[in-house]
Amino acid sequence: MNMNKKIIVMVLVLSILAFGCNNTQVDPVQQPSSTTAYNPGTYTEPSSISFSEEIKTEQFKSEEELLGFLKENSGSSGDYYGAGMLGGMVRTLSANSKMAVEESVSMDSSEGAYAPVPAMDYSETNVQVKGIDEADMLKTDGEYIYTITGSMVFIIKAYPGEDAEIVSTIKFDNAPQGLFVKNGKLAVFGSFYNYEKFRAMSFMPRSGMTFLNIYDVANREEPKLVKEYKFEGYYFEGRMKDDYAYVLTNTIAEYRPREPTPIIFDGEMKTAMPVDHIYYFSIPYSNPIFVNIHSINLDDPDELNSEAIAVESSQNLYMSQNNIFITYTEYINEWDIQKKIMMGLLEPKLAEDDRALIEKIKVTDNDVLSRWEKEQKIYQVYENMASMMTQDERDELTDKAEELLKKKMEEYKHLEFTVINKIKYDKGTIKPVANGNVPGHIINQFSMDERDNVLRIATTLNARWSRYGQQTKSTSNIYALDANLNTMSSLEGLAENEQIYSTRFIDERLYMVTFRQVDPFFVIDLSDPENIKELGKLKIPGFSRYLHPYDKDTIIGIGQDATETGRTKGLKISLFDVSDVTNPKEIAKYVTESRYASSNALYEHKAFLFSREKNLLVIPTYNYNYQNTGENYNGAFVFRITKDEIELRGLIDHSMGSTDRYWQPSVERSLYIEELLYTKSPSLLRINRLEDLSKVKNVELKSLPTEIRVY
């Protein structure tokens, strides 16, 4: 037996850590019953999600059931730190309730009722779905601009540009991360951490906190705080439809006997999410988290509804007109399968006293030992047994394990899946309704789109490798799923050895860019969700990271130019003519002279400003070349763009408002109001005329003057 085999067998034996023992070999995709109760004091063998059986949506019915789930899946045992600090009464918050809580700030906004701005021409946040606003650091109502810099929110009288000035600021202890503005209300939210405040609230979160402050801005010079929420969990995403804002947070699903559900603060009043507002799926969990969805009516901020869903992770969010889709990537791990095989092979060799010890560990109450601690102790039993095996026994074990592993791996067509959680919403009501999956992983929210109750999704399936060598090549794939997230049809195997770089669903088509050395621009027909078809494709050097419709027959692409061998060269903007879907063409392009130029808009669609009526395209851009610093710049490119032409008009320079680091982007967002262009960097708002880009005014984003003299 060679040294490599010796090492392999020891690794195989000692890697049983994540699994207990069984009398037979365990199928790694075993599916538990959807009616399984989560009872304290039990031990459930770890397992993997099944990608073939029906997955049901369940609702916790009692606190005992939830605690059983948390005990089974918690990564640590023991009392929850801070839960014992009972500084105030905890009550349960009912759905759609109006919490009559005495506020420290008056809610009387009678001083100057909000007057809507007369109809003006101004841009809004660039969003994926029309009518679904996305939280951002810059918003406008056509006369005022609301923006975040550091821990400050600035309210700026923006129009007319010559008179632009900061009219008020709101200072926060922590950095805000998103804004919504609607009907005279300003919603500000982001991560919150203040140890002294937590002590005063008798609460110490382990999963962070997210604050949401709602202000009446009828008088922009004196915004009034009318509602103050704090939600347990790290801020994830924010969306808004009509008058309802949806703020999502993530919390670790940890075992807390006294306060098992996510905590909400309405002012100083501590509330707990009701147990029956927490959903889960009939799947085995490894390290679950709760995605908490809070809906708030900005017209009536007391109207709060909060629901949570237990998932394995939350990576991407897409929100259609009727549903929220939360996705993450799940992998079938060769090492995990190998461990289970070793468990099955070694189990018959256990002595009776070892079996008895393992059973004793399994039935220990989860209050004493968590699932993971039980697995650690069970591992010790196997490790002790393995240390007493002879060399011949190890050789035989290794050969048999290799044989079984190779056979088992041949049963899996795919090892990588995107898990999709579907949540229906309507005017503040929230309800998880389905869970599904497709092979591969997605790149961002633009990989998904819902039309006529059909979810379309584009994934990249990575090349499949194992100890037996490369078995498949990477491919791009498109799937259509019905309302229950069952696959209706698919188009698989596109663009071998390439990765998806950008996608855009527009009506009944998908435009998709993949890349390895050249840029295949695909046009996919989705008019029949039961028969997805490739219509045409174009191969050109480079790639597009973001696609945006110019009109129904023309697509804008932003990415990078590249050589025929795949070496990137410079920032590139392309126009694709798709009027002949079988023969798409690149009809115009702009490429920077410097290969080091880049833009935030490659990865952040909200940094992209486009108006077809104004022939306007604005993107943040920066260039850093340490060998020739004379060609460096930092600001925003302004283009004249038509159906068949792209022309660079100029650069709005923000080097004076940057950190003097050209290798970092300075401009964060841009917008227009009437005839003026506004570009924003952390410490500067620049105003220029759209007609000739001439300067109108610079507004420095700094605190308003005080009586303290600053030198």
User: Residue 15's pLDDT is what?
Assistant: 40
Asked whether the predicted pLDDT for residue 138 surpasses 80, the reply is yes
Using 50, 70 and 90 to split pLDDT, how confident is the model at 680?
Answer: very high
CA distance 563 to 685: 37
Q: How far apart are CA 456 and CA 440, in angstroms?
A: 14
Q: Report whether 513 contacts 521 (CB < 8 A).
A: yes
| pLDDT, mean over the chain | 83
Which DSSP string corresponds to 407-461? HHHTT-S-SEEEEEEEEEEETTEEEEEEEEEEESB--SGGGEEEETTEEEEEEEE
Output the CA–CA distances (angstroms, integers) from residue 337 to 344, 383, 479, 546, in the order listed. 11, 18, 28, 38
3-state secondary structure labels for all residues of 526-570 = CCCCCCCEEEEEEEEECEEEEEEEEECCEEEEEEEEECCCCCEEE
Nearest to 311 by CA among 225, 472, 436: 436
Does the pLDDT of residue 396 top 60, yes or no?
yes
Q: How far apart are CA 213 and CA 223, in angstroms?
A: 11
* Among the ranges given (197-211, 268-282, 318-332), the one the predictor scored with the smallest mean pLDDT: 197-211
The pLDDT tens digits for 529-576 are 999 999 999 998 889 999 999 999 999 999 998 877 767 788 999 999
pLDDT confidence band for 103 (50 / 70 / 90): very low
Q: What angle do CA 401, 9, 397 make, to 5 degrees?
A: 45
- Amino acid at the residue 303: E
Alpha carbons 72 and 284: distance in angstroms, whole number: 10
Q: How far is CA 229 from CA 179, 190, 242, 296, 301, in A?
A: 15, 11, 20, 10, 10
Q: Is the pLDDT of residue 106 over 60?
A: no
Output helix, strand, coil percentages for the chain, rounded to the nearest 5.
15, 40, 40
Distances (CA, A) of 449 to 309, 456, 510, 558, 579: 21, 5, 10, 20, 22
φ, ψ of residue 355 in degrees (nearest 5): -60, -40
Is the predicted pLDDT of residue 91 greater than 80, yes or no? no
Q: Which two tokens stand for residue 464?
A: 């499949």
Instruction: Judge whether residue 392 has pLDDT over 60.
Output: yes
Exposure string over 107-135, b if 16+ CB within 10 A, otherwise e: eebeeeeeeeeeeeebbebbbbbeebbbb
Residue 153 contacts residue 176 (beta carbons within 8 Å): yes
pLDDT at 707 over 70: no
Q: Cα–Cα distance between 94 and 277 in angstroms, integer?
A: 9
Mean pLDDT, range 29-50, rounded to an integer: 40
Does 32 score more than 60 pLDDT?
no
Domain ranges of the chain: 3-50+335-409, 440-590, 592-711
User: With 70 as the cut, is the pLDDT of residue 500 above it?
Assistant: yes
**CA-closest candidate to residue 282, choices 175, 401, 421, 167:** 421
- Asked whether residue 16 carries a pLDDT value surpassing 50, the answer given is no
Pairing of strands 278-281, 300-311: parallel
pLDDT at 285 over 60: yes
* pLDDT of 26 above 80: no
> Which of 13-27, 34-48, 587-601, 658-672 is least confident?
13-27
Distance CA 464, CA 332 (A): 11
CATH of 440-590, one of 2.60.40.1180, 2.130.10.10, 3.20.20.70, 3.40.50.300: 2.130.10.10
Q: Are 550 and 642 in contact (CB under 8 A)?
A: no
pLDDT at 281 over 90: no
Q: What is the pLDDT of residue 172?
A: 93
- Tokens representing 52 are 């073939």
Amino acid type, 415: L
What does the pLDDT look like over 145-191, one tens digit per residue?
999 999 999 999 999 999 999 999 999 988 899 999 999 999 999 99
Question: Which residues pair with residue 547 across a beta bridge?
Answer: 557
Which residues, other chains included, contact 615 with Cβ-Cβ below 8 Å and sequence gap of 6+? Answer: 640, 641, 642
